């Protein structure tokens, strides 16, 4: 079992260090006759909110990398790459650093990735990119707070590995953990993607006045490590509500795929007809 570890907070972030140490222990406990190996390929700086972006790769013929050593996980090779998390996942998955992984773990992110933030998350974007290469993946995030309990999220991630290895290829799981110690965790439940407001859009113009031809728009994105927003309108099984209630949330997700909803057939056929008539003129 070979694991590629990445994140969007950067190779020197405390979350990826906690997960690397947990993986190092997992490797040391390897049963006889079983192979376990891990590799860290992560951004060289913070690339939060990058989703599955890889950047303008056509402008850069090369990507800079540097070797790092993670305290407590020195046995795991670690590289910081000048690239967003999705590109790190791609580079690492292709065997660039002499290992082809069986799955990708991304995290531990500082701040929950629930609700609408799933779309924008670089943590989640890394495993979505890995799935395009046929790999399964686990995104791991922990609710933000003054003292973040990364170790609990790392322990839960390790406990998911056996099931993820047995699952079909391209299986993707999004694990969100409340910022609690293990004794205060209420349990783990399957969560639905909610409408939690972790990320917000650009704010309105001051005073509601018409916008000038050029200027600055206020962005109400919150802190770099946002907390989960208001969950009062969510069902108790939604991922944001679960984390706020003290449960870890585990959600299966999928990447871009064809929408096979039969109700869209008329829309597509009409659009094809309009385009065909236009091309015939």
Residue 2 near residue 101, CB atoms below 8 Å: yes
pLDDT-derived band at 66 (thresholds 50, 70, 90) equals very high
Going by their DSSP bridges, the two strands 103-110 and 78-81 should be labelled as unpaired
Give dist(CA 106, CA 167) in Å, integer. 18
pLDDT at 153 over 90: yes
Q: Which of 25-29, 64-68, 142-146, 200-204 shows the lowest mean pLDDT across its residues?
A: 200-204
Look at residue 64 in the predicted model and tell me its pLDDT. 94
Please tell me the predicted confidence (pLDDT) of residue 258: 87
Residue 12: strand, helix, or coil? coil
Tell me: the pLDDT tens digits for 157-216? 999 999 999 999 999 999 999 999 999 999 999 999 987 655 445 555 555 677 788 887
Residues 6 or more apart in contact with residue 54 via CB below 8 angstroms = 83, 84, 86, 87, 90, 129
Per-residue pLDDT at 61 exceeds 50: yes
Distance, CA of 115 to CA of 186 (rounded, Å): 20
Listed in sequence order, the residues at least 6 apart from 265 whose beta carbon sits closer than 8 Å to its beta carbon are: none
Sorted by where each starts, the structural domains of the chain and their CATH numbers stand as: 2-193+230-253 (3.40.1210.10)
pLDDT of residue 178: 95
Between residues 241 and 198, the one the model is more confident about: 241
Evaluate if residue 273 carries a pLDDT over 80: yes
Contact 176, 144 (CB under 8 A): no
CA distances, 59 to each of 41, 62, 96, 99 (Å):
22, 9, 20, 27
Stretch 112-131: mean pLDDT, rounded?
A: 92
**Which tokens is 137 given?**
């993946």
Task: Flag whether pLDDT at 223 surpasses 50.
Answer: no
Share of the chain above pLDDT 90, in %: 68
At residue 219 the predicted structure's pLDDT band, cuts being 50, 70 and 90, is: low
Residue 2 DSSP SS3: strand
Cα 22 to chain centroid distance, Å, stands at 18
For residue 180, the model assigns a pLDDT of 94
| pLDDT at res. 208 | 62
The structure's pTM equals 0.89
């Amino acid at each position: 079992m070979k694991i590629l570890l990445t994140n969007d907070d950067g190779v020197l972030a405390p979350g990826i260090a906690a997960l690397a140490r947990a993986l190092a222990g997992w490797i040391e406990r390897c049963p006889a006759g079983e192979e376990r190996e891990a590799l860290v390929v992560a951004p060289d700086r913070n690339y939060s909110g990058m989703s599955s972006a890889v950047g303008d790769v056509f402008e850069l013929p090369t990507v800079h990398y540097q070797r790092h050593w993670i305290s407590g996980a020195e046995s795991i090779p670690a590289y910081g790459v000048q690239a967003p998390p999705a590109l790190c996942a791609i580079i690492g998955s292709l065997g660039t650093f002499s290992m082809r992984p069986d799955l990708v773990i991304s995290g531990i992110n500082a701040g929950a990735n629930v609700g609408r933030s799933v779309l924008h998350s670089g943590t989640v974007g890394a495993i979505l990119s890995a799935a395009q290469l046929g790999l399964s993946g686990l995104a791991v995030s922990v609710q933000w707070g003054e003292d973040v309990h990364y170790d609990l999220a790392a322990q839960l991630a390790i406990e998911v590995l056996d099931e993820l290895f047995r699952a079909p290829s391209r299986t993707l799981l999004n694990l969100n953990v409340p910022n609690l110690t293990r004794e205060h965790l209420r349990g783990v439940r399957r969560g639905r993607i909610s409408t939690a407001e972790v990320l917000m859009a650009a704010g309105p113009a001051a005073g509601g006045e018409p916008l000038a031809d050029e200027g600055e728009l206020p962005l109400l994105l919150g802190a770099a490590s946002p907390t989960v927003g208001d969950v009062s309108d969510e069902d108790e099984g939604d991922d944001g509500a679960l984390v706020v209630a003290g449960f870890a949330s585990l959600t299966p997700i999928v990447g871009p795929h064809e929408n096979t909803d039969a109700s869209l057939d008329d829309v597509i056929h009409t659009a094809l007809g309009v385009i065909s008539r236009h091309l015939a003129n």
